[in-house]
Amino acid sequence: MTNFTVLDTKTHKNTRVMTGRGAKFGENIHLVPVIAAELNKLMLEYPVCLIKDNETGQFGLSALLGFEVGENLFLNEDQWEANYIPLHIRRQPFMVAVNSPAGAKPTPENTVITINMDNARVQEAEGELIFDDKGNTTPYMNEVNNQLATLVNGMIQTEAFIKTLSEYDLIEAVQLTVSFNHEDKRFDGIYTINEEKLKKSSPEVLTDLHQKGYLQACYLLMASIGHVQKLITLKRKYLTQNKNN
C-alpha cells in the first residue's frame, strides 16, 4: 500500500525511518529501475537491461535481481549481498512528486519530497530521524535529498539516452534461456544494445554518442549482461539450499 504525503517539519517531526534491508521492506523484487549515471557501479554487480513497457511500448533501464516475480537473489534475509545498492532502493520510503500538469518535467521549482507513511520503514519507535529538534533536516535526510536529486536528474538523462539508442536502432532483444533442476526456462522482454550495429555505426553516429556521453554507457550496459551467469549461479545455489532444507 502507498500513502504518500508531502514531507513537513511539524507533521513528521517525530517520524523515523528504518534503514535496514530485507523482504519486510519490500526489497524482494526481481527488477529495479536504475539510471544511466549508476551504470559504472551497477555493471560490477548486476545484469542491467532495457525493459519494454507492454502498455506504452517505452523502454526503461533496469537491474535484474532475479528470474521470478518477488525474487531478489542478492537478498539474504536482512543482508543485501552486493557492494552497491541501486538508488531506487536506497531512496525508500521517499519520492519526488511534481506539482505541475501531467507530463511536465521535474525541476527544482515544481517538485516536492513526499514520504510513504504506509511503508514498513516508517514509524516513530526506532530508526533515523528526518528532522532534528530545531526542524532542520538531519544528516540522514540530507543524504536522501542528494539521492533524490540524483534520481530526478538521472531519470531525465536516462530517458534521453534511451531515446537516442532507439533513434539509431541500437536496441535488440536478448534471447535468454536458462536451466534450473533440468528444466529449461525462457525469459522474454529483456533488451540490450546490438554490439554489431554499434561497431558498424557511422563516424557521425559514434561522435554523437561520444559527445553526449552515451558511448561509454553503451559499453557498460553491454558488459553488465555477463552478470546473468552470476544470477544463474545464485539461483542454483538457492534451489540447492532449499532442497536440502
Task: Convert the pLDDT of each residue in 177-189 to its tens digit.
Answer: 887 877 788 887 8
Q: Which residue has the higher pLDDT, 112 or 184?
A: 112
> What range defines the domain where residue 185 resides?
4-235
pLDDT at site 188: 79
Give yes or no for residue 109 having a pLDDT over 80: no
Question: Is the CB of residue 64 less than 8 Å from the CB of residue 190?
Answer: yes
Give yes or no for residue 106 having a pLDDT over 80: no
> Does residue 244 fall inside a structural domain?
no
Distance CA 22, CA 118 (A): 16
Q: How many domains does the chain have?
A: 1
pLDDT at site 244: 65
Give yes or no for residue 142 having a pLDDT over 90: yes
> Does residue 95 fall inside a structural domain?
yes
> Does residue 106 fall inside a structural domain?
yes
- Segment 65-87 shows an average pLDDT of 94
> Does residue 242 fall inside a structural domain?
no
- The pLDDT confidence band at residue 70, using thresholds 50, 70 and 90, is very high
- Segment 80-107 shows an average pLDDT of 85
> Does residue 28 fall inside a structural domain?
yes
> Does residue 240 fall inside a structural domain?
no
Q: Which residue has the higher pLDDT, 103 or 36?
A: 36
Q: Give the tens place of pLDDT for each residue, 156-171.
A: 999 999 999 999 999 9
> Does residue 29 fall inside a structural domain?
yes
Q: Which residue has the higher pLDDT, 109 or 145?
A: 145
> Does residue 154 fall inside a structural domain?
yes
Which residues, other chains included, contact 58 with Cβ-Cβ below 8 Å and sequence gap of 6+? 52
